[in-house]
Amino acid sequence: MQSSQVFVLQVITLFSASFDNNHLIIKMSVGTAGHSLPLSLLCEQLQRCHPEVVPVDFGDYHPLKPIMVTDTKTRRGARKGSTSSSSSSSSSAPPDPLSSMLDGTDPLSMFAAASASETPAMSHSRREKEDELVGPDFEPWPAKRGEILARFTTTEKLSIVRKAPGPGSSAVSEKVRTRLEELDDLEEGSQRELLNLSQQDYANRIEELNQSLKEAWASDQKVKALKIVIQCSKLLSDTSVIQFYPSKFVLITDILDTFGRLVYDRIWTMCSDPRPLPDSFTVEDVNDTAKETCLNWFFKIASIRELLPRLYVEAAILKCNRFLNKTGIQETLTRLTAMIRGIGDPLVAAYARAYLCRIGMEVAPHLKDSLNCNFFDLLGTFQQISGESVRNQLVQQRVEVPEYLTLYSPAISWILQCIAYRAPEPLLTEMMERCKKLGNNALLLNSVMRAFRPEFVAARATDFIAMIKECDEAGFPKHLLFGSLGRSLACADPPESERLTILNEAWKVITKVRSPQDYVNCAEIWVEFTCRNFTKREVNTVLADIIKHMTPDRAFEDAYPQLQSVIRKILTYFHDFSVLFSMERFLPFLDMFQKDSVRVEVCRSIMEVFIKHQVEFTRDPVILNAMLHICKTMHDSVSFGRDFEQQLSFCVEARATFCNLEPVLVQLIHMVNQLAMETRRVMRGSHSRKTASFVRACAAYSYITIPSLSSIFSRLSLYLLSGQVALANQCLSQADAFLKAAVSILPEVPRSISVEGKLRSSESFLLDFISNFLATLLVVPDHPEHGVLYLVRGLLNMVQDYTWEDNSDAKVRVYISALPLLAAMSQETYLYSIPKVDSNETLYGGDPKFLSELNKLCDTLIGQILDHLKALGRDENTRRQGALAFSLFAVLLAHGDLRNNKLSQLAINLWNLSHKHGYCETRISVRTLDYIKHQAQQPDMAHLSDTIQRLALQSRT
């Protein structure tokens, strides 16, 4: 280079950074390159190290503006970097940062000196109270993240392509180029992995990079972590698959957020020794080591050559300015906002502004100026959207203008949400005026309506409708605008005098939408406004219009979610079913739900509302017929084939829905028990563990549901049924629980119950239940922890303590019924058994102690019966005495061993007692004697011959 020669010199400040255990160590070198580098950013950042800061005029500032400098003759032995330069383009341009930086004074030392020179009084006077962060009424970015990823998808292949070297790259020395690539690029192998990926693979790879960033940071490889962030940020300049750009923005900024948190937490940790740094800390609370490390990070980022990654990475660590300067965040927001003006692609610029606004809301939500500036800059780029460059890009990618405009929605909506957060109402008026100046840009107008508070929008609904009418429908369909307006009106009411006009104006547009899907999306929104403010007449009209649009070509089949939403909204506002079913188009609307699962869901939602709000009995034939139709629809549609788990899930939901309808609950329990038996039959021999688990789930369903029934006999019978089903499925603990529950509620049985509106004694029902219960107990094995015959004893104890009716023989009849059970339990082989269930015959195997327990219990019961017969004799209740004596005789004859002389004599005495007063029917007595004679002829039954000779018929005296 010759002295005084004027040329464009790109001064490249390279920071060869290495990390020790505490902070970055900065080394500097100077080189040249053949293409432009914006130095204004670096100049301003470094000059902030001095107590006196030269402000930058952002009005003339452009981050891509080249800097003209004069090269002076440099001696070979001169200190590296001591080049003297001055601007040739403007006398007021910032000085070369290297001339002020590298004069022998370390900028970090200057920063420390500047901090030390600030007196406590000055520090206190400049201390500002920190504004509160955003509240829960602000919708956070993570809430929008999933929606954007789901909405903006592509089937195109995605890739990361290494840019070819620029035309002037040969002028850069090999050493300089290598060091630049170390800072800006990832490894070549990593890039090859990102070529031609599907959307899911792309997202997975980005997540891998995010994880690699965390791992590199954890292993103290801070340079590698920064490389990953820089390379990922570069991806945001690529719009080759433009439909995917919003989703790409979400994925990449996740990595930036991770990096920002890691850097901030690292510096915070350095400030926490010896005591933790308070949340409301100031610059004075930060130690020098932390300040050095923080400033090194900003220097490192300032050396990134490309504008977009430099902007994004600095925005990611924006919060770290708190460690350096009280006004650093505000100044940096202003500078970064101006830098975005250098981004040529309007879509890329819009999302860069959205990210900057997002970071700004997180760290300094009170700084509204930068938000407004970003938004106004965004408005200024709208002309670029219709420019030749964008048109050529859309033609090349075969993307229509309306689809392209929707790509801006997340960015614009977010920026406007930030601006509108707790903003005064006049700001909406200002935004509306700016929309008008831009020719009522539909995209902007849509975002404004969705960003501001619904009550603000509702108060100006008529004005918004007028603006929507003036919009150009070619770029952004008007029905989308009416949809956004309808969302606000569903939450807040416009002036009452304007409501009918608003509905008419909106529906004029909605009803003309040709696409069924677009139509139903918008109509579904406005249904709520209609229900909220009008009567059944207007709602019926809306339903008729929906039927008209969705019936042709069975368009309703692709719109079940929206149609279900319409039903839910109507049910929210109409609880009078006489009004609801009087709408002519309501039931025809239900007929559009022709998919079984959807139809059942809709009918169930109607039934839920009916049960909740129809608290009085009704005889309205319209309601009864409609509900009958709905119930029949549900009944006919319930079919899950062999999907047993789905059937059980249906029963669970039905229980919650019909919790107040006892007959329904009873049927559900029967269904679940039947389901358990069917599962065992179908799945026999396969998936035994899964089957057993499902059966236990069915048992749990019944066990939870039965106590909710008010009818005591329904509970008793269902406990017994469920116990039998559990026993049949080898679920012994569940069966034991059901049977114990049945025994425990026996004392609750009332002495009289209502049958068909008349009070009747409950004894006959109770005796029938106990007889069935005793029959079941034969195959129920004793619980190992509760002793011999604990269920039988428990039942008999309950019978003993129960308050029976006066002059009742029910208790003695139970005792008589228990004797056959005890006799059957004493057999070596039981009369019946359940497969794979070991009853007491197997558990005890004829053990003498078990048989002794049976005999003792029989003796006790017979003694109780005989005492009762004596009491009846004393009270001269001979008819009852004779009937009970004959019943006990029949039991002894059928189940007792009459070879025992005492038992044989007892049987003869009972026969005689039953015939003593002539109340026994002669026909039954004759048949009994014939049976005994027949049995006496059987082998080993000759002893009955002696018994029959002692039995005589007695006539009534």
| pLDDT higher than 70, residue 70 | no
pLDDT for res 75? 34
**Residue range 604-641, pLDDT digits in tens:** 899 889 888 887 777 888 888 888 888 777 767 666 66
| pLDDT higher than 90, residue 82 | no
| pLDDT higher than 70, residue 97 | no
| pLDDT higher than 60, residue 169 | no
Measured CA to CA, the distance from residue 158 to residue 160 in angstroms comes to: 7
Average pLDDT over residues 368-391: 86
Measured CA to CA, the distance from residue 682 to residue 691 in angstroms comes to: 10
Measured CA to CA, the distance from residue 281 to residue 279 in angstroms comes to: 6
pLDDT for res 473? 67
Average pLDDT over residues 692-707: 90
| pLDDT higher than 50, residue 78 | no
Measured CA to CA, the distance from residue 666 to residue 718 in angstroms comes to: 8
Whether the predicted model's global pTM rises above the 0.85 cut: no
Measured CA to CA, the distance from residue 221 to residue 228 in angstroms comes to: 11
Most confident of the ranges 17-26, 58-67, 145-154: 145-154
- Residue 18 gets which letter from DSSP? E
Report residue 890 CA to chain centroid gap: 66
Query: b/e string for 576-607 if b means 16 or more Cβ within 10 A?
Result: ebeebbebebbeebbebbeeeebbbbbbbebb
Average pLDDT over residues 361-365: 88
Measured CA to CA, the distance from residue 814 to residue 868 in angstroms comes to: 13
pLDDT for res 623? 84
Measured CA to CA, the distance from residue 838 to residue 197 in angstroms comes to: 62
Lowest mean pLDDT among 374-388, 818-832, 942-956: 942-956
**Residue range 756-814, pLDDT digits in tens:** 778 888 888 899 999 999 999 999 998 888 888 889 999 999 999 898 888 888 999 99
Is the CB of residue 499 less than 8 Å from the CB of residue 538? no
Cα-Cα-Cα-Cα torsion 455, 460, 465, 466, nearest 10 degrees, comes to: -170
| pLDDT higher than 60, residue 828 | yes
Return left, alpha or beta for 708; rule: phi > 0 is left, psi -120 to 50 is alpha, else beta: alpha
pLDDT for res 475? 65
DSSP helix/strand/coil, 753: strand
List all residues 6 or more positions away from 485 whose beta carbon is below 8 Å from its beta carbon: 449, 457, 461, 464, 465, 468, 506
Measured CA to CA, the distance from residue 298 to residue 294 in angstroms comes to: 7
Is the CB of residue 263 less than 8 Å from the CB of residue 363? no
Is the CB of residue 259 less than 8 Å from the CB of residue 300? no
Rg (Cα) of the chain, in Å, rounded?
A: 45
Helix (H) or strand (E) holding 12: strand 10-15
User: Helices in 875-950 by DSSP H: which ranges?
Assistant: 878-895, 901-915, 922-936, 943-949
pLDDT for res 620? 82
DSSP helix/strand/coil, 178: helix
- The label of the residue with tokens 């008729």 reads 544
Average pLDDT over residues 427-451: 86
Average pLDDT over residues 54-58: 39
Return left, alpha or beta for 186; rule: phi > 0 is left, psi -120 to 50 is alpha, else beta: beta
* DSSP assignment string, 242-304: GGGHHHHHHHHHHHHHHHHHHHHHHHHHHT-SSSPPPTT--GGGS-HHHHHHHHHHHHHHHT-
Mean pLDDT in the chain?
79
Measured CA to CA, the distance from residue 855 to residue 859 in angstroms comes to: 6
pLDDT for res 65? 40
| pLDDT higher than 60, residue 119 | no
Lowest mean pLDDT among 307-321, 470-484, 561-575: 470-484
pLDDT for res 714? 92
pLDDT for res 174? 54
Angle value at C-alpha 71, between 69 and 74, nearest 5 degrees: 150
| pLDDT higher than 90, residue 43 | no
**Residue range 858-884, pLDDT digits in tens:** 999 999 999 999 998 888 888 888 899
List all residues 6 or more positions away from 677 whose beta carbon is below 8 Å from its beta carbon: 725, 728, 729
Report residue 124 CA to chain centroid gap: 48
Is the CB of residue 444 less than 8 Å from the CB of residue 379? yes
pLDDT for res 567? 95
Helix (H) or strand (E) holding 485: helix 478-489
- Residue 169 gets which letter from DSSP? G
- Residue 464's nearest CA partner among 498, 497, 491 is 498
% of the chain exceeding 70 in pLDDT: 80
Domain ranges of the chain: 141-154+184-351, 513-637, 876-956
| pLDDT higher than 70, residue 248 | yes
- Residue 41's nearest CA partner among 380, 313, 325 is 313
| Beta bridge partners of residue 32, listed in sequence order | 11
pLDDT for res 917? 78
| pLDDT higher than 70, residue 244 | yes
- The label of the residue with tokens 């915070």 reads 268
DSSP helix/strand/coil, 841: helix
| pLDDT higher than 90, residue 328 | no
- The label of the residue with tokens 């539909």 reads 442
% of the chain exceeding 90 in pLDDT: 36
